[in-house]
Structure formats: structure tokens, C-alpha cells
């Protein structure tokens, strides 16, 4: 089963995304911060990382940069209301998908399934 780590500081967003992904058949772990996500990555094999960019303390960009410290390299999707076209292009050059908040659940599922089939 594909394991997805959802990282967002907003509890309602984590709950909504977790529920949608579980309903679609994914195993889901959530984290409320980049620091918490790093612990999850240290203790679990994660297939897909779905992270917000703007979070208190360390942000999603910090988390993405920290991925090089792990043997695993999960496919990554950034979802944020603050994605600029330039940021989207830069992330895509790194092989990272982007979704702009607010998003429709179909958009999210499409991006996650695209990562699974990569």
C-alpha cells in the first residue's frame, strides 16, 4: 500500500486530506510541522510527501531540502495558497508537483496518483 505523509500546520486541512486519501486507498500519516515530518521520515518509509510551504518555524521548503538527508526519496507534492508561477517552475524543475490552495479533491487525488504511477 502506498504510504503518504501529509504535512500542514492547519488541523482541518490535515484531516480533510487524510480522509480523502484514505478513502482512495492510501495509507496516511500526518504531521503538523516540518520538524514532526522529519521524525516521521526517520521512522517510516514514505512513498509520497504532501507538504504545505508556509508553516511556523521550519517551512515546507526546509523540509524538501532536508530530504537529501534520508536514504529514501519520496515523490513530493507541494500544496499551498502561496505558490507563485516562478516557484511552481522551480519546484517542477526539481521533480516536485504543485497544487494551489484552495484545491478540489479531484486535483489532489490526480496529483497523488500521478506520483504513484511515475
pLDDT in tens, 60-81: 888 888 887 776 789 999 999 9
In angstroms, the CA 118 to CA 101 distance is 23
Q: Give the C-alpha distances (Å, rounded to integers) separating 1 from 59, 84, 104.
A: 28, 33, 24
CB-CB neighbours of 117 under 10 Å: 6
The domain locations on the chain are 3-116
Global pTM? 0.92
pLDDT in tens, 10-69: 999 999 999 999 999 999 999 999 999 999 999 999 999 999 998 888 878 888 888 877
Element (H, E) at 7: strand 3-7
Would you tell me which CATH number, out of the four given (3.40.50.1980, 3.30.413.10, 3.40.50.2300, 2.60.120.10), belongs to the domain 3-116? Answer: 3.40.50.2300
Amino acid at each position: 500500500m502506498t504510504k503518504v505523509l501529509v504535512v500542514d500546520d492547519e488541523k482541518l486541512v490535515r484531516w480533510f486530506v487524510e480522509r480523502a486519501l484514505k478513502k482512495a486507498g492510501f495509507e496516511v500519516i500526518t504531521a503538523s510541522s516540518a520538524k514532526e515530518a522529519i521524525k516521521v521520515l526517520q521512522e517510516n518509509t514514505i512513498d509520497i510527501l504532501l507538504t504545505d510551504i508556509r508553516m511556523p518555524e521550519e517551512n515546507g521548503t526546509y523540509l524538501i531540502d532536508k530530504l537529501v538527508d534520508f536514504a529514501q526519496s519520496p515523490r513530493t507534492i507541494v500544496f499551498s495558497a502561496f505558490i507563485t508561477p516562478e516557484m511552481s517552475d522551480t519546484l517542477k524543475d526539481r521533480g516536485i508537483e504543485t497544487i494551489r490552495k484552495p484545491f478540489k479533491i479531484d486535483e489532489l487525488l490526480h496529483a497523488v496518483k500521478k506520483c504513484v504511477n511515475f
